[in-house]
Amino acid sequence: MDSKQHWESVYGAKSPTEVSWFQREATLSLRLIREIAPNRSAAILDVGGGASTLVDSLVSLDYSAVTVLDIAANALAAAQARLGTRAAGVRWMADDVLHAGLPDRSIDVWHDRAVFHFLLSEEDRRSYVEQVRRVVRRHGHVILATFAEDGPTRCSGLPVERYDAQRLHSQFGDEFRLLTTLREEHRTPSGGSQLFRYCVCAFDPVSAAA
Ligand SMILES: C[S@@+](CC[C@H](N)C(=O)[O-])C[C@H]1O[C@@H](n2cnc3c(N)ncnc32)[C@H](O)[C@@H]1O
């Protein structure tokens, strides 16, 4: 089963409120986005947003340039149905983040909760970071949330990489300046506990061409 089939079958089998990563409100992500991008016209990309309620909160706060990208088209459809007419103000992309044709230098805030940690090969992680470097604007920001070093070893039936702040930051390199790092305990809908590591970086490329 390829990745798209895996994720579409997950979202086909469970409602968005039953999946282990469900948050009634993405409180920490929202707080970080509001801090680094108070301007409501900031271009915000939720990578692997799935059926997350983060987009609902952003739309409610009048963020006007929000994109949600996910490999599972049915997850995006669930978010669209929940938003109703408000979905029209959001850009939706059903695509693989490693290959998505997002325009160069088009994003102010790249947000990823629980997607990067699925990338197990060096090659995939490099492709991901290349996408970030191409798509995020100079002096834009990246918010990455993965399972913490002592978090679960699997997510949605798949093995994951776990990170502490230093290791997560080192995947991105010096042009990404680490501003904040936080741990969060996530309570799953079934009452389990999952430790997450969040890192917020500013993208300050040294090359003038970047
Ligand atoms: C654990 S869920 C997290 C969903 C959401 N970010 C949240 O915090 O509620 C991982 C999400 O990443 C998506 N995904 C996995 N691999 C992906 C890829 N290569 N490109 C885009 N989306 C991907 C899945 O479909 C799923 O919606």
d(CA 63, CA 22): 22
Q: Say if ligand 1 is within 6 A of residue 118 CB.
A: yes
φ, ψ of residue 191 in degrees (nearest 5)? 95, 5
Centre of ligand 1 to C-alpha 95, Å, is 11
Q: Say if ligand 1 is within 6 A of residue 71 CB.
A: yes
Closest residue by Cα to atom 18, ligand 1, is: 96
Q: Say if ligand 1 is within 6 A of residue 70 CB.
A: yes
Closest residue by Cα to atom 27, ligand 1, is: 50
Contact 112, 129 (CB under 8 A): no
Contact 135, 105 (CB under 8 A): yes
- pLDDT at residue number 60: 98
For residue range 2-52, list pLDDT tens digits in order. 999 999 999 999 999 999 999 999 999 999 999 999 999 999 999 999 999
- Identify the residue whose tokens are 């993405």: 26
The pTM assigned to this predicted structure is 0.98
